A and B are shown apart, each in its own frame.
Chain A
């Protein structure tokens, strides 16, 4: 992807956990999507993977079974010929390749569902330990006021949003922790599309959104 003017980056703990391979799938998807757009975080990820290599190097060793090498070479010979050259991954102007993979197509393939006030969402298929959703927020509209029990990652794909703390444009990621109560509002200039990942259900402050929560899977 082309160089972006990105001001809000991934945190070290998220990059380290992604490098270690211990994040829930929905968070990994968000990290992989941000890294696809951000050279700085790609370089930082490379360093955290090097740290993984250093850990592997000094973990010591456990003997492989007796004919392990022979068995491995036999598996290699079986697999030769069916050389895997996967088809090049696809993306569009809004969805980097990791998201394109999960949507199963470009932006026009997203199956949006309205959740009120003009806001739409599409939940992506990931493991259940966290949820990833695309959010579509009309220019100038607000996502209902909510707080979090866990961590919420919000990555801007199109347009921009502002909340109490800052402004976020394409490629920027907001990492919100436990006690953050916030109300993101889409920038007036354009409709905003974000990828949001949460590892616990959001808490809305009003009564009706809370009742609707189980149906909307917010």
Chain B
């Protein structure tokens, strides 16, 4: 069984952009270049970093390697075509790619539709607020660090929930889930919503 690597990022030789502490701003800049300039070099950097991670995520979620490869490619195609919807004030690049890969998994592995909430009336902004974007990216890094710092048992529970190894009632039955790790991320999102709705 494939197991997530804990300490060290695996550089599989696909690209040289991997680094132990990736600078998240680089990925936002690449997304903006893809979105605004249809920049294929920026797309290639995103591909080299994220496609192997999406593939690993899908294999860990139960996909065969061929299907995982196919879905990872489709995820990156969707990233290109929906780049205009990316808003760095609302999600990190990793989070945004996660939601695309998740939807591919529901479609391809579970063969179900995914009902999505209504979009907010303020939608993605052409000129996102720099302070919002920066706060969001920093908060995403804090969340990643908090996840990495959890005791193995708790972290594995969270990972299992996202890989689809736990149903919602199993999640509800687990008392070891450290949901406090996301509290400050929730506060930030609420502040931003209230600010935008004013």
Contact = CB atoms under 8 A, between A and B. Distances in A.
A91 interface: yes
Given A61-B55, A71-B73, A76-B80, A17 B90 contact: no
B162 A51 contact: yes
Contact of B14 (A40, A64, A91): A64
A42 interface: yes
B53 A59 contact: yes
A97 B115 CA distance: 9
B12 A62 contact: yes
A42 B4 contact: no
A24 B118 CA distance: 19
B144 A58 contact: yes
Interface of B: 2, 4-6, 9-14, 18, 40, 43-44, 47-48, 51-57, 59-60, 65, 68-69, 72-73, 76-77, 80-82, 90-92, 94-99, 101-103, 105-106, 111-120, 139-140, 143-144, 147-148, 158-159, 161-164, 166-169, 171-172, 177, 179, 181-182, 185-186, 189-190, 193-194, 197
Contact of A61 (B12, B81, B181): B12
Given A45-B117, A53-B140, A76-B80, 11 more contacts: A17-B167, A20-B163, A25-B112, A49-B99, A51-B147, A54-B147, A58-B4, A58-B144, A63-B52, A83-B81, A101-B115
Interface of A: 1, 3, 11-14, 16-17, 19-25, 27-29, 32-33, 35-36, 39-40, 42-65, 68-69, 71-73, 75-76, 79, 83-84, 89, 91, 96-98, 101-102, 126-127, 150-151
Given A32-B116, A65-B69, A54 B140 contact: yes
8 contacts: A12-B177, A46-B186, A54-B144, A59-B56, A59-B57, A59-B60, A68-B51, A89-B118
Given A49-B99, A60-B10, A63-B52, A22 B117 contact: no
A133 to B, nearest CB: 15
A47 B189 contact: yes
Contacts of A40: 190
A179 to B, nearest CB: 13
B185 A75 contact: no
